[in-house]
Amino acid sequence: MTVFNSQHYDGHELVSFKHDARSGLRAIVAVHNSNLGPALGGCRMYPYANDDDALDDVLRLSKGMTYKSALAGLPLGGGKAVIIGDPAKLKSRELLLAMGSFIDDLGGRYITAEDSGTSVSDLKIIAERTSYVSGVMDSGRFGGDPSPYTAQGVYFGIKAALKFKHGSDDLTSVRVAVQGAGAVGRHLIALLTAAGATVFAADINTTNKDLARQAGATIIACDEVLGFAADVLAPCAMGAAINAETVEEIQAGIVAGAANNQLAGATQGERLMERGILYAPDFVINAGGIIDVYYQRAEDSSASTSAHVETIAVTLSEIFKRAVTSGVSTATMAECLAEEKFLLGRRVRAA
Ligand code: NAD
């Protein structure tokens, strides 16, 4: 496969490859679009089965970041980095330093952050070689970890969805089923229970189940969470939880959670609409993390971060309204609104 005929190639501005023989680094950086600002996105380290999978992933994820940042109202473009290899086996200080040099060579067109397979401590090593790193602040409310702000954004998004669907965002006695009680899911459970919601949570990991229980959730089985009788389903585990089969099982009237790429395909967005289920598009509702990472880089206060994260609710309300008026799915409407923003960015600059 070449870059240009990858199914995920979408006119990306830059795709750069790096091999550093000494450290074993094999990495790809993709910048999808930078009309609104420098491309910011996480650095993922994963044992891809082959190079094609790594290329597909970086192209797809960097495009997603363009849409996410545009709708979050951030002056950022979309980018992503992938390091090919098992982090448990291949990650070393030398490899991370080589990654730092690679990013630095791109001169600021791409700014990196944490992602699966990389941690804040890894980013600090990368930052020894480049200043184009975000999410390494120790002094913020939550250190460098963006997941509490992601949870906060999901919490505000759930309230916006309740308000749109039922006319009230009061969480008292609202039943929420959370799939995945990891970093984001746990914070979300705590916020929801504090607001009076009744929360049910499922996780494949015993420790995380215990932590979810401590945060106030009742534990349910993993195979019943998607079809659980709740008002809100919050997918906070892995992508593609909602596929052709599971979309028919959902009993909740609202789907609003943190997981990236919740829908296996666009048809699931249409099907949720047909079934009268209000879907909060994942890349809109889970933008709290990128908002936090942006403010960490700007070294701004956590008050600015929280105020910005709250605007996720406003954006979602607009998407819900416009989707209903236009008769398209909320996922499609969100994509159109994002394109309006970053493609307009290009026209404004060119003028
Ligand atoms: P995490 O790895 O800390 O948590 C995921 C949890 O899901 C784990 O506890 C895992 O055991 C559980 N899980 C996995 N498969 C499951 C299944 N089939 N059923 C039930 N539980 C299952 O990850 P996280 O940081 O909490 O992120 C959660 C999701 O939100 C991911 O999709 C991530 O990409 C997305 N996201 C996270 C952030 C962030 O700030 N961390 C930002 C945006 C999007």
Q: Is the CB of 237 under 6 A from ligand 1?
A: yes
Q: Is the CB of 202 under 6 A from ligand 1?
A: yes
- The catalytic residue positions are 80
Q: Closest Cα to atom 30, ligand 1: which residue?
A: 259
What is the pairing mode between strands 198-202 and 218-219?
parallel
Task: State residue 120's pLDDT score.
Answer: 87
CA of 148 to the centre of ligand 1 (A): 13
Q: What is the CATH number of domain 14-68+77-126?
A: 3.40.50.10860
Q: What is the pLDDT of residues 212-234, one digit of tens each?
A: 999 999 999 999 999 999 999 99
| Of 218, 223, 221, 226, residue with least CA distance to 192 | 218
Domain boundaries, the chain: 14-68+77-126, 147-340
Q: How far is Cα 4 from Cα 30, in angstroms, rounded to an integer?
A: 13
Give the lowest-confidence range in 41-55, 94-108, 140-154. 140-154
| Of 119, 110, 8, 100, residue with least CA distance to 61 | 8
| 293-296-300-301 Cα dihedral, nearest 10 degrees | 90
Within this chain, domains 14-68+77-126 and 147-340 share the same CATH topology: yes
Q: What is the pLDDT of residues 31-77, one digit of tens each?
A: 999 999 999 999 999 999 999 999 999 999 999 999 999 999 999 99
* Core vs surface per residue 169-193: b (16+ CB within 10 A) or e: bebeebbbbbbbbbbbbbbbbbbbb
CA of 262 to the centre of ligand 1 (A): 11
Q: What is the pLDDT of residues 185-196, one digit of tens each?
A: 999 999 999 999
Indicate which atom in ligand 1 lies nearest the CA of residue 287. Answer: 43
Q: Is the CB of 259 under 6 A from ligand 1?
A: yes
Mean pLDDT of the chain: 94
Instruction: Calculate what percentage of the chain has a pLDDT beyond 90.
Output: 86
| Of 292, 288, 286, 275, residue with least CA distance to 329 | 275
User: Taking the complete model, does pTM exceed 0.85, yes or no?
Assistant: yes
Q: Is the CB of 147 under 6 A from ligand 1?
A: yes
Q: Are 201 and 181 in contact (CB under 8 A)?
A: yes
Average pLDDT over residues 114-120: 89
Task: State residue 139's pLDDT score.
Answer: 54
pLDDT band at 350 (very low <50, low <70, confident <90, very high): very low
Q: Closest Cα to atom 40, ligand 1: which residue?
A: 147
Q: Is the CB of 238 under 6 A from ligand 1?
A: yes
Fold of 147-340: Rossmann fold (3.40.50)
- Which two tokens mark 271? 């099907």
Handedness of CA 185, 136, 107, 76 (dihedral sign): positive
